[in-house]
Structures are given as structure tokens and as C-alpha cells.
Structure 1
Amino acid sequence: MSVPTCVFLLQLASSVAAPLACEKRVAYLDAEVRSLKNVIDQQHSYIMELQSRQSQQLLRIPNTHLGLQNLYRDCSEVYADGNVASGLYVIRPDGSPTELKVYCDMNNGGGWTVFQRRKDGKESFDRTWAEYSHGFGDSYSPDGEFWLGNQPLHLLTSQGNYDLHINTEDLEGNQRFAEYKNFRVDDEKDQYQVHVGEYSGTAGDALADARGLDPNSPCKGGIKFSTYDHPGYNEVDSQRCVRYSKSGWWFCRCGSDNEEEQHFKGPFEAMSDDGVAWYVWHGWSYAIRSVVMMVRAADLQQLPPGAEQRAPPLDPTMVHPRYDQ
């Protein structure tokens, strides 16, 4: 065989082998992608299993009652006792078997017990019924995301007449608020049904259904809390709302009265993205930056000028006495 013929045959063999090698490489990468997808699916199932186990452990926590200690019942009593600095305090609402460490917001007149904070989306709010009942997240830091718990919220708002205050901030730094009179959460046997009264504020009335003003509302009998493992007013619709928003909430109908959406990446993105929405302000396709919710006794008396003012203790586990004892 001549040298040119040999070279030609080698070039031909090389050109045929190249596509074969490329196809093998693509097939290998496809197999790798499928393998990684299986790993991700397994990890997700494992996380959900751990979450379910944690929920079961929460249900088995014994109700160890405290002795007769004179603790503040809420942040309103903390404030009324001269503590005007926002921070962690220890309270024990009437009927609570244990003390609670809560974040007290002393702005806007003071005495607010913060029960929900959403800021940066680091904390998942796609939680079980038991987790929402007991609470979750980081309530110890001023920027931590958390839910205080439906049972503590029920105990707090069953002590008397409470106001609900909600602060919202959009991506441009604009701030608005919503405030409701006569805010109350029922106990677990009534699925933590929510009640709100008169609305005021600048953010818009996103809890209009809970006020019972719409005769055509599907929740005329009240709005019950829903999670993915414990639907509220209607199993099909509640499950759809929970999956849609990736959070527990007092759902009545998807597309209304729900600020507990996950954090969007920016305005005008799809609902499958992560975001917090306050629909009566910016609509459902806009991500607001944060939502903070808090309650305060409606009959809180403001401190007189020159009254003694104290800062919170350096040790957040310190138990404060009640101011009226």
C-alpha cells in the first residue's frame, strides 16, 4: 500500500471514530444527569422524612407545668413595666404550660409581641401542622425568620382584646403597614381559626375574607389554618393553596388573603419563584422584601414622660416578673 493511500485511510478512520466518541460522551453525561437527579430526589425524600419525624417528636413533648411564677403575660406588660428597648424577653401567657422567649418590638408605641418575620427567604415556611403549632425558625436575632407558633398565638390572643400590626417593605424600600382590631386565634380543636376586626393602614386589607365582609366568600364560617399535611376549609382547595404558596396560612382562596408566599427573585416573575406577596399593594406578581407580624394588648397604657425606662437583660434567659406584682 502506498503512503498517500495509508494516510487517507487513517484520516477516514479518524473521521468515523469522532462521532462515535462524541455519542458515547453524551450518553455518559446523560447517565450522570439521571444519577444526580436520583440523588436529589432521594435527598428530598430524606429531608421530608426527617421533617415528619421532627413533627412527631414535637407532638410527644410533655406538658411540664411551671410553678406559680409571676411572669409577664406578653410584651405589652413588658413595656408597661418600663422596658422600652426592643429585644428578647421571657413571658408566660395565661394557660401556657411553659415560659416563652419572644421578641418584643418597642417601636410604634411599644409592647408588640412579634409572632412572624419574613426577610430573606433563608427559613422554609413549608412546614407541617405540628411545626406551625409549636413554632419554628430563629426568633432570637432581630433579622431571623420565624413563626412563634399557633398554640402560643392562641394563648396570647385569648387573654383579652388584641390588635394585629403588620409591617411590609417592598424591593425599593417603600414601607407600608396594616393594622386590625380584635385579632384572635382559636385553639387547635377549631383548627386555629382566625378572627380580625376593623382594618386601618396603608398596605391594603389583605385579610378581608377573615372579616366576613364578602357574602360570596367561600369562608363565610371563618378561615381555618392549613398546612400541606392538614388542610383547612376545603381539602382540595387548601392543598392547592398550600402547594401554590409553599407555606401554611389562613387560606380562603388562592390569589387572596395570603402574604405568606415564598420570596420571589424580583418583581413580575412567575408564581413558582420564591417571594413574599402582599397582593392588595403590588399584586400577585411582585415580590415585596419583608413582612413582620405582631400583636399587642388593645388597652396598653403608654408610659408617662419621665417614667423609669429599662433595657432588656443581657441574658435572654432571665425571667422577668410581672409589673403588677
Structure 2
Amino acid sequence: MMHRLLLLLLLVSFSSPAPRFSDKDVCLLDNNNLRQRLKQLQDLLYLYDLQLKDILENTYHRTKSGLFSGNRSMQHEILLPTTSGNLIVYDQDCSAVYNRKNTKSGYYRIRPRADREPFLVYCEMSDGGGWTVIQRRSNGRENFNRKWDEYKLGFGRFQGKNDEYWLGNDHIYDLLARGESSLKIELMDWHGERRYAVYENFQLANEQDNYRLWFGTYSGNAGDALSAGSNFEDQWSASHRGMQFTTFDKDHDRFLAGNCASENKGGWWFNRCHAANLNGRYYRRGRYKGSHDDGVVWSTWHGMWYSLKYSAMKIRAPFFIDSESGDGENSQGS
């Protein structure tokens, strides 16, 4: 009898119809899907509003986004970008900015590497155009006696054309990693006289090699201070070619008795110690005295005990050919 009862229960369970959703259940499910879809569209609209605001309010950015093209059609499946994504296309350097007919000197956002966030730089469009300025000293308002991480990420003000800053060793490395670059150094003394030095094949290693410095042939009228001039003894102890970057909290120089960055008040590619240091202490009036030659120094022009009024370091691809003359503005301080 028990066996027959169990068999009957099994037959009933197999023959029972599958559960069905009521119209109310179906309506609730559709409503939930529509709510999720609406939330996606609201998030996307908010993201587009932010990017449109960035384009309209920031004069440094003149790229027209393809998002707002009249020919663009909305796809059926909208995939929201990640929070680190950016739908605005940035130029890789100031040469690319110039080649898009943006020939006015000023601050622009560039992005040398697609896998990293864009950052702000000053693009100098005079002097042939397309120069990315990586360092500037002009008024002594910015403290250049900084830690390793600050030199790595960059510091200073990025507003006026004569604001002082260091672009950041990581940013400089990313700019130089794209190919061969020329470095131009512009200098001015306290009498308003200007000089310059150009180095071909300017290179920087990554942080694992402590941003080691390499450069090629020199030309200009300021003298080859990065190579410590023409004296062999000076070159052995003060040339900056092949030197690693040093700050007061991370010592990579060849000075065994101390730290060149601590003595000379700024991060730089010190040997033991230097023939040039554009990140030194900013002395007004030029000539200075002290326990160390720690000024803004370019020794092959004014010697070690003269601190310059202005310096700027800027880079550009050597094969860049300007198609226009630029705005003719000079970024040097007055």
C-alpha cells in the first residue's frame, strides 16, 4: 500500500504544470528593467554634461568632442565608461597641439600615454612653436627644495605664463619615451641679457633607474654647462651626463661626503656636485654669497656664484617643422 501511495505522489508531481507568472509579475519585471535602463541613461547624461562643461569653460582645451557630432547615432546597447575613462581626445604633446592650428601660447591638457590621465602643460608657440615647457623659474615664489615624490609628480602653479613649476619626472619621462627629443634651455640674467643652450637626443630613464639623464650634441650661446664646459677635470666631477636624479630625501649623486640636493636647495641630476643647477635657491640681484653655490646656476655663462633671474626648460621633437609662425609671444620673464 505504501509503495502505491509513493508512486501516485511521484506521478502527480511530474504531471503538474510548470508555475506561470501572472500579468502583474510580468509588469513588475518590465518596470524594474525600465528603471535600470533609465538610471543608466541618467548617469550617461550626467557624464556628458560634465565633459561639455569642461570643453566650454576651459579655454586651454579646443578639441571638439565627437560625442556631440550631429551625425553620431545612439547605439542600442550603452556601456558606461569606467570612472577613470575619458571620452575627450587629448593631444600627445604641444607639437600636436600646434599642428592642429592652436598657435597661441598658453596652458593645454595633453596625454602622452593613453593609459594615464592627461595633465596640464604650458605650450610655447613662439620660437618655431610646439615646445612643451617642463621647468620655469621667474620670480622665486615657488619652493624648489622638494622631496622625491614631489619632483616625481610635479609641483608649482599652472596659471600665468610666468608661473614657476616643475612638470614632474614621470610626466617628463612619458613625453620623452615617445621618441627622440631636443631640449632647449632659455636663460636671462638680472640685466635682461638672454642666452640659450640646445641639446639633441635628450633622454630620461624611468624611476627604477632614478630618472638618469642623457643628452647629445650641444649648440647655443650659453655654454655647455650640462657637460661642465671643456675642462676635463670639471667634466669628471661636475658633468651631468649619465647622472641620476637626487633630492634631499633620496641621494643618488656621486658626492660621498654629503647630499648635493641638500647643499644646493633643489632636486637635480647632480654629480659631485654640479656645473648647472636650474632648480637651486632663487637669489635676487644675481651675485650672491653663501656656504654653497646653491643659486640658479649656469656656470659657463656667469659662473657658480651668480643666480639667474629666469630659466625655462622646454622639449620638442627634433623633426618638428612649424607650419606657421605662432603668436610671437615670448614666455621669458621681464
Identify the TM-score tier after normalising by the shorter chain: 0.5 to 0.7
Q: Does 1:140 align with 2:159?
A: yes
Which residues in structure 2 correspond to 1:5-154 (within 5 Å)? 65-67=84-86, 70-94=89-113, 97-154=116-173
- 1:277 corresponds in structure 2 to 297
**Equivalent of residue 222 in structure 1, options 238, 242, 252:** 242
Alpha-carbon offset, residue 235 of structure 1 = 6.4
Cα offsets for 1:149-194 (capped at 9, x unmatched): 0000000000011110111000000000011101111110010011
Counterpart amino acid of residue 215 in structure 2: V
Q: What does residue range 178-257 of structure 1 map to in structure 2 within 5 Å?
A: 178-208=197-227, 217=236, 222-234=242-254, 236=256, 239=259, 241-257=260-276
Q: Note the C-alpha offset of 1:107.
A: 1.3
Match in the other structure for 1:288: 308
Q: Could you give the per-residue CA deviations for residues 121-155 of structure 1, whole angstroms, max 9, x where no partner exists?
A: 11000000000000000122111110000000000
Other structure's SS at 2:152 match: helix
Q: Distance in 2 between matches of 1:89 and 1:106?
A: 12
Are the equivalent residues in 2 in contact too, given 1:232–1:238 (CA < 8 A)? no
TM-aligned CA distance change 1:233 to 1:176, over 3 Å: same
Q: Distance in 1 between matches of 2:209 and 2:273?
A: 21
In structure 2, distance between residues paired with 1:274 and 1:209: 16
Shift of 1:96: 5.0
SS at match of 1:131: helix
1:260–1:215 distance in 2 versus 1, CA, 3 Å: closer
- How big is the shift at 1:224? 0.3
C-alpha distance in 1 between matches for 2:110 and 2:217: 28
Aligned residues: 242
TM-score relative to the length of structure 1:
0.68
Contact 1:66-1:97 at 8 Å conserved across structures: no
Show structure 2 runs of 5+ residues with no match.
Answer: 1-82, 328-334
Displacement, 1:221?
8.1
Q: 2:324, 2:139 → 1: CA distance?
A: 37
Equivalent AA in structure 1 for residue 126 of structure 2: N
Contact 2:213 2:244 in 1 (8 A): yes
Secondary structure, counterpart of 1:166 in structure 2: strand
In 2, distance between residues paired with 1:221 and 1:145?
25
Relative to structure 1, is the Cα distance of residues 238 and 115 closer, same or farther in structure 2, using a 3 angstrom cutoff? farther
Deviation (angstroms), 1:67: 4.6
1:267 Cα shift? 3.5
Matched with 2:193 is: 174
Structure with bigger RCO (C-alpha 8 Å, 6+ apart) = 1
Distance of 2:284 and 2:164 partners within structure 1? 17
Q: Which amino acid aligns with 2:119?
A: L
Aligned with 1:155 (options 168, 174, 184): 174
Q: CA deviation at 1:215?
A: 10
Deviation at residue 287 of structure 1 after TM alignment: 2.1
Contact 1:226 1:238 in 2 (8 A): no
AA in 2 matched with 1:296 = R
Q: Hey, what's the Cα distance between the residues in 2 that align with 1:267 and 1:105?
A: 26
Classify the secondary structure of the residue corresponding to 2:276. coil
Worse overlay, 135-144 or 67-76: 67-76
Q: Equivalents in 2 of 1:167, 1:233: separation in Å?
A: 25
What is the TM-score normalised by the length of structure 2? 0.66
RMSD of Structure 2 on Structure 1 (CA)? 2.8
The 1:115–1:220 alpha-carbon spacing in structure 2 relative to 1, beyond 3 Å, is closer
